[in-house]
Structure 1
Amino acid sequence: MIAMATWGDLAAYVNETYDVLSEDEGEIRILFNFEHYDDEDERTQVIFLAREVLDKQHEWVQIASPVGLADKIDLKALLTEVGHTTIACGAAIMGDHVVLRHALPLTTLDLHEFTEPLSLLAGTADQIEEIFSGGDEY
C-alpha cells in the first residue's frame, strides 16, 4: 500500500503518472487517456484535481470532470441518468459547466483508493458527455 497523506504526495504521484495539462497551487488539470483498440476509438477526458480543506484542518482531493455546458444540457435527464448509472460520483454545476465529481480524504488515502475512483469518474464522465453533449469535447 502506497500512502498519499498530503496534497504534495498526491501531486508528485499525479505528475509521475498522468498527462498533466496544467498545475497551479491546489489544482492540477490532467488529460485522462482511455485504452483504445484502433485510431477511431481514441477518447480522452479532462480531469481537475483540487485540494480542499475541511474544517481548516483535513485535506481532501476533489476529482471533477466537465461533461457539458449547463445551459445546453437537459439537467433533469442528466441527473436521472447519473442517479441510475453511477456509483462513485455526483453531478454539480461549476461555473458554466456540469461536472461529475467525487472527493476523497488525503490523510489515509492509498494509491488504489485514488486511481480506481479517478478511472471510474473519468469513464462515467466520458459516457455522460457522449450521451448529453454528443461528442468528446472535454
Structure 2
Amino acid sequence: MTSWTDVINYVRTRYEVLEESDDWLRFRLDTTGGRTQQVALHHVPEGDGGAWLEISSAVGRADAIDQGRLLELAGTSLVGGAAVVDGVALLKHTVPLEHLSVREEFERPLALLVSNADAFEHQLTEDDHF
C-alpha cells in the first residue's frame, strides 16, 4: 500500500521541492532547452477512507492564453486534462493513491504531463514562467 508520505519522500529524494504543506507539495523539474516546469501534487482524501493523488502543472495565466487552443492541445495528450484553478490554466491528472505503482502510475504520467505542460506553455505564451 502506498501512502502520501511515501510519495512525498520519493519526490524529496529526486526533485527540487519548492514548497510543501501537509497535503500539498510543489517542486520543479528540468525540461528541454534549459526550460523548467513546476509541478504540484495534492493529497485528496475521499470520505470512505480512500485517497487520490492529483498531479498538476501550470501552462499559463488563464486570461493571457487562448483557452480554446489549450483545450485542443490537451485533447492530444495521453494523460491529464485542462483546467483553470485560481486563474491559472493547467494540466492535471489524478490517480488512486492506495495501490500506486510509483514507476507506472506516478513517474510515467508525471513525465508526460510535465512535458506537455511545458510544450503547451511554450506554444501559448512563448515564455517559461512556470
Q: TM-score, normalised to structure 2's length?
A: 0.94
1:63 to 55, 68, 72: 55
How many matched pairs? 129
Quote how far apart the aligned CAs of 1:56 are: 4.3
Secondary structure at the aligned position of 1:127 is classed as helix
Corresponding residue for residue 120 of structure 1: 112
Query: Any unmatched runs of 5+ in structure 1?
Result: none
Look at both structures and tell me which one has the larger radius of gyration over its CA atoms. 1
Quote how far apart the aligned CAs of 1:124 are: 0.4
Quote how far apart the aligned CAs of 1:54 are: 2.3
**Are 1:99 and 2:90 counterparts?**
yes
Distance (whole Å) between structure 2 residues aligned to residue 133 and residue 58 of structure 1:
38
Deviations 1:19-42 (A, max 9, x none): 1111111011000112x5xxxx21
Distance (whole Å) between structure 1 residues aligned to residue 48 and residue 86 of structure 2:
24
Corresponding residue for residue 44 of structure 2: 52
Secondary structure at the aligned position of 1:107 is classed as coil
Runs of 4+ in 1 over 6 A off after TM superposition: none
Deviations 1:73-122 (A, max 9, x none): 11112111211x21101000000100100011111101212111111100
Corresponding residue for residue 34 of structure 2: 42
Corresponding residue for residue 87 of structure 1: 78
Distance (whole Å) between structure 2 residues aligned to residue 91 and residue 58 of structure 1:
24
Secondary structure at the aligned position of 1:13 is classed as helix
Distance (whole Å) between structure 1 residues aligned to residue 91 and residue 39 of structure 2:
10
RMSD: 1.2
Secondary structure at the aligned position of 2:91 is classed as strand
Distance (whole Å) between structure 1 residues aligned to residue 116 and residue 13 of structure 2:
24
